[in-house]
Every structure is written in structure tokens, then in C-alpha cells.
A and B are shown apart, each in its own frame.
Chain A
Amino acid sequence: MERFTFVQKIFLYLGIAVFLTFMLLPFFEMFMASLRPLQHLFRSPYQFWSDDMSFQAYSDIWETVPLLGRYIFNSVFLASVTTFLCMMFVIPAAYSFARFKFKGKTISLGLFLGVNMFAGAVLLIPLYKLLRSMGLLNTYAAMFVPGAAFLVPTGIWLLKAYLEKIPIELEESAWIDGASRMYILRRVVLPLAVPGLIVVGVASFIGAYAQQFLFAITFNQKREYMPLPAGIFEFVGYQSVIWNQLMAASIVGIIPVLIIFLFLQKYLVKGLTKGAVKG
């Protein structure tokens, strides 16, 4: 049986089209801007297409900002380390929350959720003081330590929900067979939680990638440690902003994340909807 009538379908697709346009238009304009010569960007009236469009900016970016490659690497590196660090805390914590009864469990879970409501920006000054007293300013750690800390609460909530769906009999059975808690976690729980781990990992990675700008410009002044979003500022000169190259560099910087996303997309969907339906 058809679930929607023809008219309903038209509205459905119209809605999707409006939504997608809204979401994707900035990216499209970003791509178009990267193709235009700099002087065309300010041409009036606005010209969508011109004959002198080229990929020139994509080769120029490496000369304008020689450290661009390093910035891209830093971004991916920082996001990876942040994700790894985050997972190291999330896995045992989520497992404990999912399986053990202890005092203050509900309160601490609530606190984790509450912490999430503070945007990183609110805590920048205390964090700055903290990092300075720990001697971490101007290091990679200045960016991935607070980065991981901010991602842990969401990760715990996500993974806890996933781990709770693994039948407890599996663990009890292993427990009866003499397996230790760590052995059960390693050999039984984690292999079964792989889709959930991927979801949390990807969510953390994206989060880390997105939030690193704020931490980078406040806690780090070393150019070599800068991630892409901060490094991209070098396209903003004293006299002018090289918009087309800035856009090109942004696109190049997004590509690594995009590739990871494409590969993990099916797990993401599977993981987020798992357990919603029986079977």
C-alpha cells in the first residue's frame, strides 16, 4: 500500500528540497567562491558564472600559507587524539553506568548532562588559568585535554544507552565461567558494542574537529600546533582577505572528515537506530 498520496509526496519532496538548499547552499557558494578570481568576488552585480573561473586557488593556497599542510595534519591529529583520549574515559565510565549500581549514579549522570549545557566559551578563562598552572599552554595538550573533557559526557550517555542493550546474561555467563570484569569487557562487551563504539567515536571526532578552533586561538600561540580553522586566519591579511584561497583551504580541510564520514555512515545510522525496533 502506498503510504503517501501524490500531493503529500510533492510536499514531502518540497520540504526536503528547502531544507537541503538551506543546508548545502553555503557549501556550494563556498566551492564557487573558491573557483572565482579574487577581483570577481566583489564584482557588482553578482555574477554566478564567468569564464575566468579556475582551480588556481587550490594550488596557490600552499604558497600563500606554507604551513597549510601542517595545519590540516594538526586538525586531524588533534581530533584523533581527542577522540582516543575521550574513548579511554567513556568506555569504562559508560560500562559502569550501564551495569553497576552505586551511590550517586543518577546524580552524576545528571551532572554530566548539566555540564554539557555550558558552552566551552563560558569556561575559557578558568580553563586558561588551569592549563597555565599545569604548564600546558602552547602545547598540543592544551587543545586535546579540554577538548576530550567536553566530549566525555555526551559519549557516556550515548555509549551507556548502547551497552544497556547487550543482554546481561552474556556477562553473567562469562562471570560464571570465571572471567574477570576486564576480561568480560574486552572479550564480550566491546566486540558486541562495535557499532556503538563507532557512533560515539565518530560523534566525538566531529565534535573535536568542530570545537578545536576556540581552544586553539585561546590556549595556543605556536603556529606549528595550530589546527586548520585557526591557521586559515593567515589568509586574512592586513590589507585584504584572500577569500577565494580561504574558501579553497576550507574545502581541502573538510575533505579528510568527509571521507571518514562516508565510510562510517552506514554504522552511524545503524548504531543510532539500533534497538529502536526489535530484531
Chain B
Amino acid sequence: MATVSLKSINKWFDSSQVLYDISIDIEDKEFVVFVGPSGCGKTTLLRIVAGLEDVSSGEVEIDGIDVSSAHPIERGISMVFQSYALYPHLSVFENIAFPLRVAKTPKAKLQEMVMRAADILRLTDRLEHKPGQLSGGQRQRVAIGRSIVRQPKVFLFDEPLSNLDAALRGEMRVELSKLHKSLNATMIYVTHDQVEAMTMADRIMVLSEGKLEQFGTPMDLYHHPKTKFVAGFIGHPKMNFLTASCLSIDSDGVKVELPAIGKQLLPVEPIKVNQGEELEVGVRPEDLMLSETGKGLPLKVDVLERLGGSTLVYGSLDKYPNFCAMLQGDANVREGELVNLDVKPASFHVFDSNGNAMKRREVPEILK
């Protein structure tokens, strides 16, 4: 049982503020990912939870107890660092056993616990090696071994996969998800990679410049981004944005003037905007398809990326030079061609000039 609550966390480094009033509640056994671009404060926030940084104001609660000024060990957390932080002079066994040695665990118990951790992480035949003799993936597993051996209540991961190559990263992602299920522990994971966030998280917190943008399930973030930032950050390839002026607002949604398409009613729950105000309209590349009628958004194809299962089409649309569409299968388009793209009105995301989203009315049902 371990819940983590962050209550109005603010953090200053000297005179610059890096975290603004962050409040979230993490449930027991939840896998939460902090995601955001570099320098958004996600690692600082994790270090605050770990006890490596103090809060400037606010509270960190673990299991309902305020631990804002407690030593890491009293918080019942363990942490895996981006650089793994393995002790190069100690064997794998001693690296995993380190927290137990600090805690003066009796020898027989220590042996048993290390062996169990090594077994889970398939490191049994590497115990006598030094970290320098291991591959990246194995080092990563030793670092995880060292964090699970103490059986903490909360696991913290600081970009643990960023030093691995792409193939290994995919593998470790699955392993971490499995580990989360088998350990039944609360995990907080920091990454700048939205794919990692989407694939592993129960809930994702998106941070931008020290501010909490949105905290929700991956599909919630994907289908109902609350801000333009979240909309652009979650999903790959990135969402396309167009500016459109607001023609009218009624109970059915917002009517806008779109380039090439013209007047279009978008089914969203409107927030207060003025007629004639410039709105941002977003559409995900995967929501675009080749038009069969010859109408729709005209895209001049610059670059094609054929992935087999899908085709990524990059080109310019009206005054937008970096427009992207993801077409199913090996689409029948050629570079230099002009293609017309269809998009369902319900697929559009609408943001006001401050980047706040209007709630979409018709979205696919989110599987729980």
C-alpha cells in the first residue's frame, strides 16, 4: 500500500522558479509517468519525491504522511538513475546487495534476497562480473535489481531507458511493465519520450516549463488533450495545427473557416470565444485519409516515408509547410504530387488563442 500525493509543490533554484504549484494524487500500485520536453522540471519533481531536493513550498505525502523533509530511506522509496549509478568497483552481487549491506541485513537473508532479485532479472550467471563487463541492458537490470531488493513502497525511475538502443528500449519497456505487475508496487517514471509514457503508464502527467499541463490516462491525453501543448506532445507523428477564424458558436459546436475546405462545423463544447477570433484547429496525421471525391485538404507531397503498414506523407498545405498525414498501407501517392485529404469533422481538436482545448463531443469510446 503506497499512495503518493504532491500538494502545491513549488521549487526555486536561486531566483528562478522551476516548478509551479504542482498537485497530483498517485494511487496505490499505479504506474505514473512524468513526461515533458527537456528542462520542464520533471526530473526535479522526481528528485523532490525521492528526497534529493527540498521543496521550496508544498508537501510530499507518502501513504498520507508528510515526508517533505524526511530522509529518502524513511520515505520507503528507491530510485533508478539515468546513468544507472552502478558502483564500478563492486561486483554485480555487491551492487545489488548494497542497500541490504547498508541496512545490515543478516548474511543468509541477504544472500537469499539478492538471489531472488537476480533470478527475477535473469542476472544469476552475471553475479561475479563487474558492471564494466556488462552490456547496457544488463547494467540497467542490475540498477533495477538494486532498487527492488529492498522492497520499497515506491519505485522511482529517472529516464532509465534513454541510454539504450532502440531495440533494447522496446524490450525493456515490456519487461518494466511486467515487473510492475509482478511487484505490485507504485511506480513513478520520468521520461521525455512520449512513446514510453503512452505504452507503460496507467496515468501520465505532462509538464511544460514547470507547469502541470494535464494528468490523465494515456487515452484520455490522446483523445482529450486539455491544452495545445499536450495535443502537440502526445502522439506520433505530431498533431498538425491550422489557424481558423471563428465564424459562429452555437450549441452544436463551433463553425470555422478552414483553408481549402471552407466553412465547417466542428462538434465541440465551445468555451467563450468571440466571433472572428483566431482559433487553433488541430488534426492528427492518423485521422487524415485519401479523399475519394477529389475534395478536401490539398496537400503537396514533399517526402514519403513508407513503413509498410502505413505511409507517412509530409508536405505543404496552403501556408503550412510541415503538414503530415499517416495513410493506411502502401498508399498510392508519389512525391511531388498534389493529393486531397479527407478528415471527419469530429476528428478536429479546437483550441482558443490561449491554447485551451474545447471538449470534443464525438470521440471513440475509451477502453478501460
Contact = CB atoms under 8 A, between A and B. Distances in A.
Interface of A: 167, 169-170, 172-179, 183, 188, 191-192
Contacts of A170: 85, 87
A226 to B, nearest CB: 42
Q: Closest 9 interchain pairs by CB? A: A178-B73, A169-B85, A177-B99, A173-B85, A176-B72, A169-B81, A191-B89, A179-B102, A178-B102
Interface string B80-117: 01110101110000000011001100000000000000
B72 A178 contact: yes
B79 interface: yes
B141 interface: no
Contact of A176 (B52, B82, B83, B89): B52
30 contacts: A167-B83, A169-B81, A169-B82, A169-B83, A170-B87, A172-B85, A173-B81, A173-B85, A174-B98, A174-B102, A175-B72, A176-B50, A176-B51, A176-B72, A176-B73, A176-B79, A177-B72, A177-B73, A177-B102, A177-B146, A178-B71, A178-B73, A178-B99, A178-B103, A179-B98, A179-B102, A183-B102, A191-B89, A192-B87, A192-B89
B150 interface: yes
Contacts of B79: 172-173, 176
A183 B71 CA distance: 15
Interface string B214-250: 0000000000000000000000000000000000000
B77 interface: yes
B10 interface: no
A51 B267 CA distance: 113
Contacts of B208: none
Nearest to B149: A177
Nearest to B52: A172
Contacts of B52: 172, 175-176
Q: Chain A interface mostly helix, strand, loop or mixed?
A: helix
A103 to B, nearest CB: 15
Contacts of A178: 71-73, 99, 102-103
Nearest to A192: B89
A176 B77 CA distance: 8
A179 B98 CA distance: 9
A18 to B, nearest CB: 43
B282 to A, nearest CB: 39
B78 interface: yes
Given A177-B72, A178-B72, A178-B99, 17 more contacts: A169-B81, A169-B82, A169-B83, A169-B85, A170-B87, A172-B52, A172-B79, A172-B81, A172-B85, A174-B102, A175-B72, A176-B72, A176-B73, A177-B78, A177-B146, A179-B98, A191-B89
A218 to B, nearest CB: 44
Contacts of A176: 50-52, 72-73, 77-79
Given A172-B81, A175-B52, A178-B103, A192 B88 contact: yes
B9 to A, nearest CB: 19
A167 B85 CA distance: 8
A96 B89 CA distance: 22
Nearest to A190: B89
Most buried by B among A170, A174, A176, A191: A176
A28 to B, nearest CB: 43
Interface in B7-53: 50-52
A177 B80 CA distance: 11
A189 to B, nearest CB: 10
Contacts of A183: 102
B322 to A, nearest CB: 36
B84 to A, nearest CB: 8
A178 B146 CA distance: 13
A178 B71 CA distance: 8
Nearest to B81: A169
A52 to B, nearest CB: 57
Contacts of B78: 176-177
Nearest to B99: A177
Contacts of B81: 169, 172-173
Interface in B306-327: none
B323 to A, nearest CB: 41
B155 to A, nearest CB: 11
Nearest to A176: B72
A179 B87 CA distance: 14
Contacts of B89: 191-192
B72 A188 contact: no
Nearest to B94: A187
Contacts of A177: 72-73, 78, 98-99, 102, 146, 150
A178 B73 CA distance: 5
Interface in B122-151: 146, 150
A29 B102 CA distance: 59
Contacts of B88: 192
B132 to A, nearest CB: 12
A177 B143 CA distance: 12
Contacts of A188: 87
Contacts of B103: 178
Nearest to B89: A191
